[in-house]
Structure 1
């Protein structure tokens, strides 16, 4: 059932300088999340986005009819919204294509041209209010609580350069998880490396999303910094634990991927 974008969500998605993420499922039901900053509202009931540096996302969108998707936006003043909806298809010409191709990213890009434009039907909209003070406090407490459990199974070693981006205060970090054939995502701005193969986060700012995760869930996390650099960490949600007095969610990292040129979609292998 189609829903309407509230004015605040419409305005947030209409910004050029906002972090926007598109989460999808592959044929096995595993999540993938990527920054798709070319996402804009077409009207109150649909979003459009450019087919640009989204190879894996595109594969997932085309693996079934009306693939379930989650689209999130976070503005510079930390206003955040999630849209859950359905992918309706790609177009290679027409007014939607003309609108996205007229954006400066494509008019002046030396990276590549726009191939097509996708459309998403809006089914549900969720506001995720946050404050600068709350974000800073959650980041600090997560950093204090970031310890690798003594009983942890080995995961994928995180390259020190990637680990620095994961733990940075400035930037956007969103976590996606599959739930019974649908996809959900929420901000995890406090994300921190724990050891060299785990990451931890807190959900105090978005506490209603705590129930989205169950032990053993496959998760995907996109880290998008101001450089701009972007990485995707995939892994297994181990569960919630208390560390130094704070409850944190723990993820065992199983793979790490680049998400920006010159070689987006390349797995990063590192032996610590």
Structure 2
């Protein structure tokens, strides 16, 4: 007679009922097979995400819920993995922020031109578009202590390279960079605040202004503010249009500044 699990021949002992299994190991395997109805008793371990998918998930989380939700613990729960596994890719929140910022900056589309104004305008518009796609990013980058990954360094280097040959030392060129980028980040901070308010309250900026038009018109109608008017058709500010206007004026100022410096011989 053979073992019901592995087929090994079982020598009869001559006492009691005949044995069905050659040993306890085969008996246990047969029990698990019956319990699981023929399925493997152990589930395969979940597939571990690589660094790219971890960073992509982090960006999606920040886009949906804001920068405050972005932490290794929350991200690990979203991915369904232990936080210890996540920390193999990003060992700290600082490393996580650096990784997501570098990934966002990698979306940049460079432009080649000998005209400094073309390059600076393109860089500013790319930065503005980046903050419109990822409003949380301005809070990470609009600081004197940004994540110093390759993306941030490449951004500043492109800007300074466009100003080379115009009689500026590196410190002055950096001041021009901070002027232009600071303008972009200032308006982007306003846009990010509106994005967060709409997400958290469910009230759009148009609805917010429309609800206050009557009170605002009454205050303006007193004559105490003769230069203010209310247009019921467009109560809210068009930030993209305001960005276009302001950027042109900032670059006009840089042009006047460079013209006064002259070119080196």
TM-score under structure 2 length normalisation: 0.25
TM-score under structure 1 length normalisation: 0.25
Which structure: larger Rg?
A: 2
The one of the two structures with greater contact order (alpha-carbon pairs below 8 A, sep at least 6) is: 1
Greater share of residues in strand: 1
